[in-house]
Amino acid sequence: MDIRPSPIAGTWYAGDSRMLAEQVDGYLSDGPDIEPSGELIGVIVPHAGHRYSGSVAGRAFRLMRGLDPEIVAVVSPMHSLAPAPVVTSGHEAYQTPLGIVPVDQEAVRSLSTAWQKQFGESLYPLRNDREHSLEIELPFLQRALGEFRLLPLMILDQRESTAKALGSALAASLAGRRALLVASSDLSHFHPDSTARGLDGEMMRRIESFDPAAVMQAEHDEAGFACGRAAIATVMWAAKAMGAGRVTTLAYANSGETTGDFSSVVGYGAAAIWRIAPA
Q: Which CATH code is given to the segment(s) 3-275?
A: 3.40.830.10
* Three-state DSSP state, 135: helix
Cβ contact 266:190 at 8 Å = yes
Residue 29 makes CB contacts below 8 A (sequence gap 6+) with 58, 62
Cβ contact 208:252 at 8 Å = no
The larger pLDDT score, comparing residue 96 to residue 33, is at 96
Cβ contact 41:243 at 8 Å = yes
Its pTM stands at: 0.97
Cβ contact 247:17 at 8 Å = no
- What percent of the chain clears pLDDT 90, i.e. is strictly above it? 90
279 has a pLDDT exceeding 90? no
Q: Where are the alpha helices (DSSP H) in the chain?
A: 17-29, 50-61, 105-119, 132-135, 138-145, 160-174, 193-208, 212-217, 229-241, 256-259
- Please give the pLDDT value at position 44: 98
pLDDT tens-digit map of 212-222? 999 999 999 99
Give how far Cα 91 sits from Cα of 115, 132, 187, 252, 254, Å. Answer: 19, 16, 29, 34, 33
DSSP 121: S
- For residues 205-211, average pLDDT: 98
Cβ contact 49:73 at 8 Å = no
- Please give the pLDDT value at position 278: 61
Q: Of 183, 172, 178, which Cα lies nearest the Cα of 117?
A: 172
- For residues 64-76, average pLDDT: 97
* Three-state DSSP state, 263: coil
pLDDT tier at 34, thresholds 50, 70, 90: confident
pLDDT tier at 6, thresholds 50, 70, 90: very high
- Please give the pLDDT value at position 121: 81
Residue 206 makes CB contacts below 8 A (sequence gap 6+) with 214, 215, 218, 224
Q: Is 216 exposed, middle or buried (0-12, 13-18, 19+ CB in 10 A)?
A: buried
- For residues 244-269, average pLDDT: 97
Helices 50-61, 138-145: inter-axial angle, 10-degree rounding: 40
Residue 68 makes CB contacts below 8 A (sequence gap 6+) with 145, 178
- What percent of the chain clears pLDDT 70, i.e. is strictly above it? 99
Residue 112 makes CB contacts below 8 A (sequence gap 6+) with 88, 122, 123
DSSP 6: P
pLDDT tier at 8, thresholds 50, 70, 90: very high
25 has a pLDDT exceeding 70? yes
pLDDT tens-digit map of 128-176? 999 999 999 999 999 999 999 999 999 999 999 999 999 999 999 999 9
